[in-house]
């Protein structure tokens, strides 16, 4: 598998692999959504299968739930878990303070609930997601289907008032129909260029009728694990300011982790 992996997949894989160092026997884990989080779920499945790791996972989407079950992870609901030791998830952007934009895969609502119900959140990512200032990636906002056009108009009006530059909101589509989240809602993607005060924007968006949640994760992430295609992994911990770097050489071994592929 590794011979056929693209540099970006290698980056995601080594980030997921490094994040597994934080997982301990008996933990209740939040399992993120997306292509990076899928590598994590596969790595954890291998640890369950081969090393007898005992964990319970709370998935943040129906897709992740399906994959987790496939690889042998015991899946429980957040209400069963009540509180989690750790959530590991991907992100669409992260800044110097480890604030995030998430929701590119449409799972931001469950992801934010799960991450907030965790002692610690680790984001696994590749280097392309690091930004000086959040906002190049369109900000996903989950809205209920009822009156979504009114919610869109209200969002645009509020953002003009906040002087957020170049705002347009587009309804996310799935082929010819509006995209529908696991909670039965729609997603508006806000094209903002530059967000400015992300904390304030997040609070303001969530005040607008019809808005369920937005993809800004402020002060939620504790650690970012960034992988690179050459096997390097950087870890940045916001709580103790630590920054460390490792390198995985096993990417040169084509047979290793062959069963972790898609
Ligand atoms: O809704 C999806 C999530 O927030 C994902 O974690 C995010 O979009 C990153 O996904 P990927 O790892 O596929 O880039």
Say if residue 45 is in the same domain as residue 159. no
**Predicted local confidence at residue 235, as pLDDT:** 97
Ligand 1 close to Cβ of residue 110 (< 6 A): no
Nearest protein Cα to ligand 1, atom 12: 36
If one counts the domains in the chain, the total is: 2
**Predicted local confidence at residue 252, as pLDDT:** 56
User: Could you say which of 46, 74, 93, 111 is catalytic?
Assistant: 111
As a whole number, the mean pLDDT across the chain is: 92
**Predicted local confidence at residue 3, as pLDDT:** 56
Plot region of 91 (φ>0 → left; ψ -120 to 50 → alpha; else → beta): beta
Q: Which of 3-7, 96-100, 210-214 has the lowest mean pLDDT?
A: 3-7
On whether ipTM exceeds 0.90, the answer is yes
Say if residue 16 is in the same domain as residue 112. yes
- Residue 56 counted as an annotated binding residue: no
Ligand 1 close to Cβ of residue 102 (< 6 A): yes
Ligand 1 close to Cβ of residue 89 (< 6 A): yes
The whole-number average pLDDT for the span 199-209 is 96
**Predicted local confidence at residue 134, as pLDDT:** 94
Mutational test site, ligand 1, from 11, 14, 30, 37, max ligand atoms within 8 Å of CB: 37
Q: Give dist(CA 72, CA 137) in Å, integer.
A: 34
Neighbour count for residue 10 (Cβ, 10 Å)? 20
Measured in angstroms, how far is the CA atom of residue 209 from the centroid of ligand 1? 26
Ligand 1 close to Cβ of residue 229 (< 6 A): no
The whole-number average pLDDT for the span 97-124 is 98
Nearest protein Cα to ligand 1, atom 8: 104
Would you call 249 exposed, middle or buried from its count of C-beta atoms within 10 A (0-12, 13-18, 19+)?
A: exposed
Say if residue 107 is in the same domain as residue 39. yes
Measured in angstroms, how far is the CA atom of residue 244 from the centroid of ligand 1? 24
- Residue 104 counted as an annotated binding residue: yes
Ligand 1 close to Cβ of residue 45 (< 6 A): no
**Higher model confidence: residue 257 or residue 99?**
99
78 is in which domain, residue-wise?
2-130+219-260
The whole-number average pLDDT for the span 160-166 is 72
Please report which confidence band the pLDDT of residue 67 belongs to, taking 50, 70 and 90 as the band edges. Answer: very high
Ligand 1 close to Cβ of residue 11 (< 6 A): no
Please report which confidence band the pLDDT of residue 168 belongs to, taking 50, 70 and 90 as the band edges. Answer: confident
Nearest protein Cα to ligand 1, atom 7: 91
Which residue, of 178, 197, 214, is where some domain finishes?
214
Would you call 12 exposed, middle or buried from its count of C-beta atoms within 10 A (0-12, 13-18, 19+)?
A: buried
**Predicted local confidence at residue 251, as pLDDT:** 59
Say if residue 124 is in the same domain as residue 241. yes
Say if residue 74 is in the same domain as residue 187. no
Say if residue 18 is in the same domain as residue 103. yes
Instruction: Indicate if 111 belongs to the active site.
Output: yes
Put simply, whether the predicted model's pTM sits higher than 0.90 gets the answer: yes
Ligand 1 close to Cβ of residue 106 (< 6 A): yes
**Higher model confidence: residue 248 or residue 96?**
96
For residue 142, what are its two tokens?
């989950």
Say if residue 47 is in the same domain as residue 87. yes
Plot region of 235 (φ>0 → left; ψ -120 to 50 → alpha; else → beta): beta
Q: Cβ(33)–Cβ(90) under 8 Å?
A: yes
Q: Give dist(CA 227, CA 221) in Å, integer.
A: 17
**Predicted local confidence at residue 162, as pLDDT:** 80
DSSP assignment of 155-200, as one string?
HHHHHHHTT-TT-EEEE-EETTEE---TTS-EEEEEE-S--S-HHH
Say if residue 117 is in the same domain as residue 18. yes
Measured in angstroms, how far is the CA atom of residue 112 from the centroid of ligand 1? 12
């Amino acid at each position: 598998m590794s011979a056929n992996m693209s540099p970006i997949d290698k980056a995601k894989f080594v980030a997921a692999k490094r994040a597994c160092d934080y997982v301990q026997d008996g933990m209740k884990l939040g399992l993120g959504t997306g292509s990076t989080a899928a590598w994590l779920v596969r790595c954890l499945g291998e640890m369950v299968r081969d090393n007898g790791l005992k964990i319970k996972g709370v998935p943040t989407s129906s897709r992740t739930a399906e994959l987790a079950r496939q690889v042998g992870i015991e899946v429980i609901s957040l209400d069963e878990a009540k509180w989690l030791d750790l959530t590991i998830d991907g992100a669409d952007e992260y800044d110097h303070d480890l604030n995030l934009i998430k929701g590119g895969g449409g799972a931001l609502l469950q992801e934010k609930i799960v991450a907030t119900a965790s002692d610690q959140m680790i984001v696994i990512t590749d280097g392309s997601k690091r930004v000086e200032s959040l906002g190049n990636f369109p900000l996903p906002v989950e809205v209920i289907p009822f009156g979504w056009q009114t919610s869109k108009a209200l969002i645009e009006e509020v953002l003009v008032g906040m002087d957020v530059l170049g705002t347009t909101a587009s309804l996310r589509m799935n082929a010819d129909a509006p995209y529908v989240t696991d909670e039965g809602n729609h997603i508006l993607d806000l094209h903002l260029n530059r967000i400015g005060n992300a904390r304030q924007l997040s609070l303001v968006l969530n005040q607008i009728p019809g808005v369920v949640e937005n993809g800004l994760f402020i002060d939620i992430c504790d650690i970012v694990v960034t992988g690179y295609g050459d096997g390097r992994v950087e870890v940045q911990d916001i709580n103790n300011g630590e920054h460390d770097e490792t390198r995985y050489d096993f990417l040169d071994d084509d047979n290793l982790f062959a069963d972790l592929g898609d």
